Amino acid sequence: MRYILLIICLLGFKLFAQTGWTSVASFGTNPGNLNMYSYAPTSLPTNAPLVVVMHGCTQTASQYASESGWNILANQHQFYTVYPEQNAANNSSTCFNWFNYGDQNRGQGEALSIKQMIDYMQVHYSIDATRIYVTGLSAGACMTNVMMACYPEVLSKGAVMAGAPFKSATSSLTASNAMYGFVTHTAIVWGDSVRHQNPTFTGTFPKVAIFQGSSDLVVSPNNVPEQVKQWTNVHGADQTADLIQTNFNGNSLVTKNSYYNTSNQTVVETYTISGMGHGISVDPGTCYQQGGTTGTYAFDENFHSSFWAAYFFNILQAPTVISGSISVTASTNGVVYSVPAQSGFTYTWTVPSGMTIVSGQGTNAIAVNVGTTSGNISVTETDASACKIGPLNLWVTVNTATNIDNQLQSNNVKLFYNQDEQTLYVLANDLKSIKNVTLYAIDGRIITSWETIDTKAYIENILSTGIYIVEYEINKLPIRKKIVID
């Protein structure tokens, strides 16, 4: 009888794992009384990402899906989406109740209903638990902040489209003050409001991208610096932008600010769209970086905000990648980086501070004189129709010869080359945290890789004398180590 029940359960799983746009009637206790819709492309790999997408006031899930273009991105880049939808019985304007105490705290109300939707997707589809993201507009943006604060162990990153900080309002009476940007606190007060949701949490909080129109009269741009205070403080960063990019990606309306933690990783970034009102920015068209449709709260600003949110989530499948050494010695000259040449394309390259492009700018290959600073080599491709692809990035680590070791042990991972066995071992102490292990040759060529490692991984008899790079993820952070075989 047990086996018959198992077969029935498995068949039920197959039937429930529907593709396309699906209304899900039962996904848990649903204490927030929300509706759930999901979208699954017809064919996805195992362990695909999941994006939670939340509409704004007066909108429906299907309307926001259409205007934001998230389902088209899901088709193109192979991930799932799930759409919580508000009931008019909960809020006459169909706003998520991000300001209600019973809906903005962990384990309660609407926040718990949305968490149950994520749980449902994980049960019925093959989803990578380390790549679950959340985004939303207006009340959905405020609820995005709620979800990141309440469930940091579930969500990796979030994209806030015209939102207000977590706990900027705690009742319907105080919501207007928050929306109009009248609520200000110190960074530590904002950060404490997030930390108090999970006092024992010791993991990494979600990284955050904030998108905002400068002429928004519904949710004030004053909320951007307050959110920057909140999430930089949570990540132990300051509130001074480490990188300011005006005319972002050639669009004079967009300014991007990036905020780094002490490890020089971007933990918060903001995109301000000059002159835009309350809504999302779209860029209708068929180019790689275009998408979305115009609507009451969707404006054509030649900037597809959903695309750049997905770019921030690191779930886009780039049509090409940069070739070149991912590990170089300081002060090396003439290091070449390239992408496949496309007829009629122009190529705009950028390099980290301290590196110099000595030839090739505008072409598909550049030669770089290296300084002492690690960072991204980036290129943007533009075709004859002005369609852009990029920036495409390749992280390059600049090293000195003195910091290469035969044996490295850190972050629960030990790398060791046994000369007698001619075998490189990758040993993991904490199996749950080690993901995406890749072994590179010094020229950037991939030798082998594993999605996860089971106690130990090893490579026999294929490595010759030289320097190799082992890259892996631990607690969602990329780590790169060198090993020398002599």
Judge whether 69 and 51 are in contact, CB under 8 Å: no
Task: Report the distance separating Cα 107 and Cα 233, nearest Å.
Answer: 24
Q: In this structure, what token pair is assigned to residue 277?
A: 């009102």
**Residue 180 CA: distances (Å) to CA of 168, 205, 229, 456, 481:** 11, 27, 17, 54, 48
Task: Report the distance separating Cα 259 and Cα 327, nearest Å.
Answer: 25
**Residue 368 CA: distances (Å) to CA of 327, 336, 346, 360, 363:** 13, 6, 18, 9, 13
Q: Which residue is it, tokens 């170089």?
A: 328
Q: Which residue is it, tokens 């072409």?
A: 363
State the alpha helices, DSSP H only, in 87-151: 109-124, 139-150
Task: Report the distance separating Cα 298 and Cα 67, nearest Å.
Answer: 7
> Which residue type sits at 216?
D
What region, left, alpha or beta, does residue 250 occupy, with left being phi > 0 and alpha being psi -120 to 50 degrees?
left
Q: Phi and psi at residue 343, in whole multiples of 5°?
A: -60, 130
**Residue 115 CA: distances (Å) to CA of 31, 105, 274, 309:** 11, 12, 34, 21
What DSSP character marks residue 81? E
Q: Which residues are catalytic?
A: 138
For the chain, the straight-line distance linking the first and the last C-alpha, in angstroms and rounded, comes to 61
State the alpha helices, DSSP H only, in 277-403: 305-313
Q: In this structure, what token pair is assigned to residue 117?
A: 């939707």
> Which residue type sits at 379?
V
**Residue 18 CA: distances (Å) to CA of 50, 104, 121:** 15, 30, 11
Strand, coil or helix: what is 486? coil
Q: In this structure, what token pair is assigned to residue 374?
A: 């690690």
Judge whether 67 and 146 are in contact, CB under 8 Å: no
Task: Count the neighbouring beta carbons within 10 Å of the beta carbon of residue 174.
Answer: 14
Judge whether 80 and 38 are in contact, CB under 8 Å: yes
